[in-house]
């Protein structure tokens, strides 16, 4: 490989890195995607973590943004084996009274279910979501498009009219707590909305959490909350298959140690072991911290300082279970849900977020809980099931001492709404925050969201710039979840960075062709 030259090198083979490689290959570039790990996928991988025959998604598992993604929609991923499985219920949020609010793909069914618990709450949800569902394509382009998202914003404003546009602007700044207080009367719908805000890593009392919760649930109506049949890794395999179909190359077990620079611009990458790959374009599916590590002094001091100021999101502890049967939820509707928000009512959820803010482990943590095997029997032996749950945790925890106790708290939370759950556990696998990062270096401290989603860092990712993908070093681009449009599995950031890289490298490429002909 030493001395090899490509039109572009992509560092990192997660969904964004693979999307960047595919985008460049489609534009006629010779592309090499290099990955430090021994196989591609980043946080989109599956393994038999517990017992033989039980397929677990190691990191992410549920992919509304992937189905909504304009980038993935333009790829023939089904031809490469990807099949989406939709549970009957996208998401449910149980409370202690034995009932649960539910999110269905069908809006009318969701409205009826919310109204059946507290009359008027379903109608309140319809008033919130219906205008945006009518303009879903414009909202999708805004939320999952490149920065600045002007085409989508223009379409939204044109479709909603002046008052609707003002309402949308207010919603962007609003806390989920305020939206719930305006539209809901019962505890179930309020907790249901709060849980979706927390799913998006935005505490419900903070500015920007209303749009986070609304958008996540809106995707449930527009495209569902599905998972790949057979495990998350089927999505990675489909992306790799398409990359290779286009002539792109993938090399795993090849950690990049430095960005090579010549005459003030990118000249390629240096790989551990002394190997070097020449290229005028490098797109990095890396966190700001990793970009600093490989680019170092080649970046101007001011830009380095802004990258140093990047804030990671909450850390994560994840548990996977092999079960002897389905989770025995008290509420029947929860037994049909692919995703469950476990945490109780609004006060319970706020207590959990307060503990996290104070650097404490919550006694009753909020959990994202998945049970993909209820709709996809390929995940477990006949009659058996898989489940997973993860919770946000503060930094600085002594996990040697606290891990077992916090897993007990997690299982107690599930048992609270599903008596008998513990009796069905055949095996468990625990990923502490350091283990998450050791398996995927992009998951800093176990941050699975690609950085904090406080409002300022949601708008400006990774730094304030009209072009967040371009770095000051010519030829070097960042295309990870740390840039707009941010986390979730959609490939949008990698594709946006690759499009910019392809456009800006075209003149240099043409000059090289002319010189060769001479």
For 434-480, the pLDDT digits (tens) are 999 999 999 988 898 888 887 778 878 888 888 899 999 999 999 99
Rounded mean pLDDT, 238-254: 98
Over the range 152-174, which residues count as b (16 or more CB within 10 Å of their CB) and which as e? bbebbbebbeeeeeeebeebeeb
Interval 137-178: pLDDT, tens: 888 888 887 777 767 777 777 888 888 888 888 998 999 999
Going by pLDDT thresholds of 50, 70 and 90, the confidence category of residue 511 is low
For all residues of the chain together, what is the average pLDDT? Answer: 94
Nearest to 424 by CA among 411, 439, 434: 411
Q: What angle do CA 7, 12, 13 make, to 5 degrees?
A: 95
**Per-residue pLDDT, 299:** 94
DSSP 55-83: -EESS----HHHHH-HHHHTS-GGGGT--
**Per-residue pLDDT, 161:** 85
Task: Return d(Cα 480, Cα 189) in angstroms, integer.
Answer: 34
Lookup: tokens for 65: 């943004």
DSSP-derived 3-state class of residue 357: helix
Q: How far is CA 418 from CA 117, 330, 380, in A?
A: 20, 5, 20
Containing 117, the helix (H) or strand (E) segment is helix 107-117
How far apart, in Å, do the first and last CA atoms of the chain sit? 27
| pLDDT above 50 for 1 | no
**Per-residue pLDDT, 518:** 60
Containing 244, the helix (H) or strand (E) segment is helix 233-245
Q: What angle do CA 47, 51, 56 make, to 5 degrees?
A: 30
Rounded mean pLDDT, 356-368: 97
**Per-residue pLDDT, 516:** 64
**Per-residue pLDDT, 163:** 87
Rounded mean pLDDT, 346-355: 97
Answer whether 304's CB lies under 8 Å from 292's CB: yes
Nearest to 67 by CA among 276, 225, 175, 292: 225
Rounded mean pLDDT, 240-252: 98
Interval 79-119: pLDDT, tens: 999 999 999 999 999 999 999 999 999 999 999 999 999 99
Task: Return d(Cα 2, Cα 271) in angstroms, integer.
Answer: 9
Going by pLDDT thresholds of 50, 70 and 90, the confidence category of residue 66 is very high
Angle between helices 209-222 and 176-183 (to 10 degrees): 70
**Per-residue pLDDT, 2:** 53
Rounded mean pLDDT, 261-290: 95
Rounded mean pLDDT, 392-403: 94
Going by pLDDT thresholds of 50, 70 and 90, the confidence category of residue 517 is low
Rounded mean pLDDT, 271-299: 94
Residues with Cβ within 8 Å of 477's Cβ and at least 6 positions away in sequence, in order, are: 281, 282, 283, 284, 469, 470, 471, 497, 498, 500, 501
Rounded mean pLDDT, 177-190: 97
């Amino acid at each position: 490989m030493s001395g090899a030259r490509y039109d572009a090198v992509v560092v990192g083979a997660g969904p964004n890195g693979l999307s960047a490689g595919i985008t460049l290959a489609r534009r006629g570039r010779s592309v090499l995607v290099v990955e430090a790990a021994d196989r591609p996928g980043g946080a989109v991988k599956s393994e038999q973590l517990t017992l033989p025959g039980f397929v677990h998604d190691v990191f992410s598992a549920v992919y509304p943004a992937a189905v909504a993604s304009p980038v993935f929609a333009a790829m023939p991923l089904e031809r490469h084996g990807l099949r989406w499985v939709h549970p009957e219920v996208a998401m449910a949020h149980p409370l202690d009274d034995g009932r649960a609010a539910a999110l269905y793909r069908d809006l009318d069914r969701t409205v009826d279910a919310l109204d059946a618990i507290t009359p008027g709450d379903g109608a309140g949800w319809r008033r919130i979501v219906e205008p945006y569902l009518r303009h879903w394509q414009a909202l999708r382009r805004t939320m999952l498009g490149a920065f600045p998202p002007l085409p989508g914003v223009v379409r939204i404003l044109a479709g909603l009219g002046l008052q609707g546009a003002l309402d949308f602007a207010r919603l962007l700044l609003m806390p989920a707590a305020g939206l719930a207080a305006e539209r809901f009367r019962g505890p179930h719908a309020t907790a249901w909305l709060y849980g979706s805000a927390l799913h998006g890593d935005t505490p419900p009392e903070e500015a920007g959490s209303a749009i986070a919760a609304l958008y996540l649930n809106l995707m449930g109506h527009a495209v569902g909350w599905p998972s790949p049949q057979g495990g998350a890794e089927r999505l990675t395999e489909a992306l790799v298959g398409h990359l290779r179909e286009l002539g792109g190359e993938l090399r795993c077990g090849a950690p990049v140690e430095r960005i090579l620079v010549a005459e003030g611009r990118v000249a390629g990458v240096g790989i551990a072991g002394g190997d070097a790959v020449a290229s005028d374009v490098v797109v990095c599916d890396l966190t700001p911290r990793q970009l600093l590590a490989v680019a170092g002094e080649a970046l101007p001091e001011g830009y380095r300082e802004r990258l140093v100021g990047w804030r990671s999101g909450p850390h994560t502890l994840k548990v996977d279970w092999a079960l002897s049967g389905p989770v025995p939820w008290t509420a029947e509707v929860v037994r049909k849900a692919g995703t469950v928000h476990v945490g109780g009512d609004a006060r319970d959820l706020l207590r959990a977020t307060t503990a996290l803010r104070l650097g404490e482990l919550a006694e009753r943590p909020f959990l994202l809980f998945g049970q993909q095997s209820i709709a996809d029997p390929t995940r477990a032996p006949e009659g058996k099931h898989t489940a997973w749950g993860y919770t946000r945790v503060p930094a600085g925890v002594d996990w040697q001492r606290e891990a077992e106790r916090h897993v007990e708290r997690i299982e107690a939370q599930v048992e609270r709404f599903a008596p008998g759950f513990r009796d069905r556990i055949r095996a468990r696998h625990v990923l502490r925050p350091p283990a998450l990062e050791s398996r995927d270096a992009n998951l800093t401290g176990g941050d699975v969201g690609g950085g904090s989603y406080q409002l300022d860092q949601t708008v400006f990712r990774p730094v304030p710039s009209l072009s967040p993908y371009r770095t000051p070093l010519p030829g070097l681009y960042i295309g990870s979840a740390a840039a707009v449009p941010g986390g979730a599995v959609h490939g949008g950031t990698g594709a946006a960075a690759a499009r910019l890289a392809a456009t800006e490298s075209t003149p240099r490429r043409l000059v090289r062709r002319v010189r060769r002909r001479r």
